[in-house]
Amino acid sequence: MMNDNAQNLRQSDLTHYMHPFTDTEALGKEGGARIIIRAEGAYIWDISGNKILDGMAGLWCVNIGYGRKELADAAARQMNTLPYYNSFFKTATVPSIELAQQLAARTPAGLNHVFYANSGSEANDTIVRMVRYYWELEGEAQRQIIIGRNHGYHGSTSVTASLSGPHMHGQGGVPLPGFSHIAAPYLFGADTELDAEAFGIQAAQALEERILELGADKVAAFIGEPVQGSGGMIVPPASYWGEIQRICKKYGILLVADEVITGFGRTGKWFASELYDIQPDFMTLAKGLSSGYRFLVISSG
């Protein structure tokens, strides 16, 4: 049963707090949000005293569990020493330098530079600008189109919603121009008699078909999550990413691995790119980078 404090908090939540991906009217009819008040290890507790196994690890981010005292202590030391300073105006801080060095050492070969952002959405938004600026510097400014996939999720800004699949489109003028999408390598949901290996090749070849349809000289990059979160945790066939990489190299297309939910041990490797032998030109990191504690930085790309 709800106590008076819980009822008051739920009403205040409905009155003032706009939740993402939520129908506020429907939430009100259900009696309001579940209010989480504490967490430890892999469990969370709500305001009614229910202990819940957090199978989603927050929002696919609390990779090392809740209540890690060593992280709280590290955060307190940093807050007391230097809680914040910007990196504009030819300035840096010791933690930002040291973390960039650590990330460069652990990410796949060739990824030697880190750009910090405030979220996975912002990091992917920045990558779109970087990709297009790269082609401008290469004298091919007409390469503007970035190809994503159905069921893809890359963020909730106007740009990253455009990168994402059609389930993120149709509101607020999204998708913006300059984005295209192909089918996901979703064998379970496909009407096919192909085995997994053949289906993986076929799904990847949809990229080549789209490149030729749009014009290879107009395509800037392909972006994909090694394992797709939206659509039901879509694990690609083993043959898929090798063929994607072959096609990107054939047409000189940049390859972006969105490792926001798959990075930092989620798949048993530091990064899922290692699992699938992906050699990305850009990699987006977030979530597990700070295990949701967010006391230093959130993402790099």
- Give the pLDDT confidence of 215-270 residue by residue, as tens digits: 999 999 999 999 999 888 999 999 999 999 999 999 999 999 999 999 999 999 99
| Chain mean pLDDT for the chain | 93
Supply the Cα-derived Rg of the chain in whole angstroms: 21
| Full-model pTM | 0.92
**Beta-strand runs (E) in 104-248:** 116-117, 145-149, 179-182, 219-224
- Give the pLDDT confidence of 72-131 residue by residue, as tens digits: 898 899 999 999 999 999 999 999 999 999 999 999 999 999 999 999 999 999 999 999
Average of per-residue pLDDT across 12-23: 94
The per-residue pLDDT for 181 is 98
Please give the angle made by the CA atoms of 202, 205 and 208, to the nearest 5 degrees: 165
Average of per-residue pLDDT across 136-148: 98
The per-residue pLDDT for 231 is 86
Q: Tell me where in the chain the CATH 3.40.640.10 domain(s) lie.
A: 70-300
Question: Is domain 70-300 given the CATH code 3.40.640.10 in the classification?
Answer: yes
Distance of CA 149 to the CA centre of its chain: 14
